């Protein structure tokens, strides 16, 4: 490669957006450096399955290097980006090394937001990375083990009370799956407790779960959750969390209630990666309340056409001709589309052509709830179709398996799910160093 003459493209982050951008530049005469702090691309829509012991990590994670082994213009770099210097056009890595870029695509994604209550984080982990998933799996499975050994009734009840905070897709999936684990997976395995007696609470501050869906489907999702044994509490705001309880405000003005629980999961909010704020500060750009970078219609950073921001870190608008701009949701199809748009606009700039405003093609939303239950809100070119129950679940299943990267993984996921479906068992009920104060060797 005549690396010296080729434009240097740096892509930060190998989620759906970064991956798609790098792939779309496959035939471009550029030298791409793809930087990620992990060695794998994560299929995040199925991360909750790893957290709930349904899938092993490798089933939803593909080594980035391997994905690009046949694309010679991509160099994969395992490193953490600590800062971008938009003036010097360099990216600084943990350890001190720097990368020089001519074009920068920032796809650093999002992390959890505790809405100013970061002290809650240790008591209510969120679900963004494999490490998060393992920690949640550990807490989830350990709670039943601790309950089995607990002799005090109240303490045991607290171990058997699981609270999921946030009624979006992740919260709904987590709560529904946890109910199945308690009702089905663990049946007959304990001698002192009945896992089916576990309480699973789903707390949502708004008026309904899955707010992105039409009200009819939200109501259906709630019914399906309740059939699985999940207690759904909408209009309930969390006011405090510690190692032993969650304090909630059931309604405005109502007295706070305390829910004794030893396993609390956070699915309530996300915010842009800290890199967004650093870049905004350095480039004189703007972040919104969720810490996402406000971008131009073509997803470039204002005043910096050589920097494009995509995925969950971008506060982007969709510009359909004849319509007012609509905010783009933080979902993987949007990230992929932004990745393709970033690559296309980059090639236009290289060819001296004007860039094109981003248009988000919304196919709708899916959310699974549990065995045989899901909701689908499909936006076809003709009309918007909503359905739920078994057919929606099968639709969800195959949509996700189809989009899983790499046939190999798809096959494994299919087998894991088929066996889980028939046996009501879960494959990955394995934790290392499980009990507090336990060592593994």
- Catalytic residues, which ones? 173
Using the rule CB under 8 A, which residue among 9, 46, 51, 61 binds a copy of itself? 61
In the complex with a copy of itself, the residue whose CB is nearer, 65 or 348, is 65
Size of site (CB under 8 A) for a copy of itself: 67
Q: Whole-number minimum distance, CB 268 to a copy of itself, in Å?
A: 15
Smallest CA-to-CA distance from 78 within 108, 37, 41 is with 37
Contacts of 437 (CB under 8 A, 6+ apart): none
- Asked if residue 249 binds a copy of itself (CB under 8 A), the reply is no
Stretch of 72-80, 225-233, 250-258, 376-384 contacting a copy of itself, by CB under 8 A:
72-80
For position 76 contacting a copy of itself by CB under 8 A, the verdict is: yes
Choose, by CB under 8 A, the member of 80, 194, 207, 242 that binds a copy of itself.
80
Q: Interface with a copy of itself includes 278 (CB under 8 A)?
A: no
65 binds a copy of itself (CB under 8 A): yes
Contact (Cβ atoms closer than 8 angstroms) between residue 308 and residue 314: no
* Piece of the chain touching a copy of itself by CB under 8 A; list 14-22, 62-70, 256-264, 321-329: 62-70
- The CB-of-79 to a copy of itself minimum distance in angstroms stands at 6
Nearest CB to a copy of itself, comparing residues 149 and 227: 149
**By rule CB under 8 A, what string of x and - marks binding of each residue 105-144 to a copy of itself?**
------xx-------------x-xxxxx-x------xx--
The strand pairing partners of 265, in sequence order, are: 164
Q: Is 148 in the site for a copy of itself (CB under 8 A)?
A: yes
Token pair 């499980």: residue? 434
Is residue 56 involved in binding a copy of itself (CB under 8 A)? yes
Question: Residue 282 CB: number of other CB atoms within 10 A?
Answer: 14
Cβ proximity to a copy of itself: between 124 and 225 the closer is: 124
The CA angle 218-256-128, to the nearest 5 degrees, is 50
Q: How, if at all, do strands 230-233 and 199-203 pair? A: parallel
**Where does this chain touch a copy of itself (CB under 8 A) — which range of 170-178, 185-193, 257-265, 379-387?**
185-193
149 binds a copy of itself (CB under 8 A): yes
For a copy of itself, give the closer residue by CB, 18 or 86: 18
Does residue 96 touch a copy of itself according to CB under 8 A? no
Figure out which of the listed residues 28, 57, 282, 347 binds a copy of itself, where binding follows CB under 8 A: 57
Cα separation of 386 and 375, whole Å? 8
Strands 61-63, 90-93: pairing is unpaired
| Choices 201-209, 278-286, 334-342, 418-426 (CB under 8 A): range interacting with a copy of itself | 418-426
Q: At residue 393, what are phi and psi to the nearest 5 degrees?
A: -65, -45
Candidates 153-161, 162-170, 301-309, 430-438: pick the segment binding a copy of itself (CB under 8 A). 430-438
List Cβ<8 Å contacts ≥24 apart for 409-418: 409/43, 409/58, 409/59, 409/60, 409/62, 412/58, 412/59, 413/46, 413/55, 413/59, 413/60, 416/54, 416/55, 416/56, 416/59, 417/54
Which span sits near a copy of itself by CB under 8 A: 64-72, 166-174, 231-239, 374-382?
64-72
Beta carbon of residue 287, minimum distance to a copy of itself (angstroms, whole number): 19
Provide the minimum distance between the beta carbon of 13 and a copy of itself in the complex, in angstroms, as a whole number. Answer: 13
Nearer to a copy of itself, 237 or 292 (CB): 292
Which residues in this chain contact a copy of itself in the complex, by CB under 8 A?
Answer: 37-40, 56-59, 61, 63, 65-66, 68-70, 75-80, 94-95, 97, 111-112, 126, 128-132, 134, 141-142, 145, 148-149, 186-192, 408, 411-412, 415-416, 419, 423, 425, 427-435, 437-441
């Amino acid at each position: 490669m005549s690396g010296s003459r080729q434009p240097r493209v740096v892509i930060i982050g190998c989620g759906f957006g970064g991956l798609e951008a790098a792939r779309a530049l496959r035939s471009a005469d550029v030298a791409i450096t793809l930087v990620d702090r992990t060695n794998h691309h994560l299929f995040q829509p199925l991360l909750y399955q790893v957290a709930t012991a349904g899938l092993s990590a490798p089933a939803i994670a593909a080594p980035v290097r391997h994905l690009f082994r046949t694309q010679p213009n991509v160099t994969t770099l395992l490193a953490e980006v600590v800062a971008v210097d938009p003036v010097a056009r360099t990216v600084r890595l943990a350890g001190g090394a720097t990368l020089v870029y001519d074009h920068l695509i920032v796809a650093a994604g999002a992390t959890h937001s505790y809405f100013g209550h970061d002290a809650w984080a240790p008591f209510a982990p969120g679900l963004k990375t494999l490490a998060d998933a393992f920690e949640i799996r550990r807490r989830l499975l350990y709670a039943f083990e601790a309950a089995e050994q607990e002799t005090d009734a109240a303490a045991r009840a607290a171990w058997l009370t699981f609270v999921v905070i946030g009624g979006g897709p992740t919260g709904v999936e987590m709560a529904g799956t946890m109910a199945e684990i308690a009702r089905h997976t663990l049946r007959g395995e304990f001698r002192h407790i009945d896992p089916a007696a576990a309480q699973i609470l789903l707390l949502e501050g708004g008026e309904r779960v899955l707010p992105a869906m039409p009200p009819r489907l939200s109501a259906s999702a709630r019914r399906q959750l309740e059939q699985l044994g999940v207690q759904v509490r909408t209009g309930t705001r969390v006011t405090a969390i510690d190692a032993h309880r969650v304090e909630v405000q059931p309604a405005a003005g109502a007295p706070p209630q305390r829910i004794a629980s030893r396993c609390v999961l956070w699915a309530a909010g996300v915010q842009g990666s800290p890199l967004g704020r650093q870049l905004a500060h350095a480039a004189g750009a703007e972040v919104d309340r969720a810490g996402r970078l406000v971008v131009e219609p073509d997803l470039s950073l204002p005043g910096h056409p050589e920097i494009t921001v995509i995925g969950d870190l971008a506060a982007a608008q969709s510009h359909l001709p004849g319509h007012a701009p609509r905010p783009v949701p933080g979902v993987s199809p949007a990230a992929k589309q932004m990745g393709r748009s970033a690559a296309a606009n980059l090639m236009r700039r290289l060819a001296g052509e004007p860039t094109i405003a981003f248009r988000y093609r919304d196919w709708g939303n899916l959310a699974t709830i549990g065995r045989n239950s899901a909701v689908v809100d499909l936006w076809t070119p003709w009309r918007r179709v909503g359905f739920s129950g078994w057919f929606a679940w099968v639709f969800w299943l195959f949509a996700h398996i189809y989009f899983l990267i790499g046939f190999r993984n798809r096959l494994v996921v299919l087998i894991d799910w088929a066996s889980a479906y028939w046996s009501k068992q879960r494959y990955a009920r394995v934790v290392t160093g499980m009990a507090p104060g336990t060592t593994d060797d």
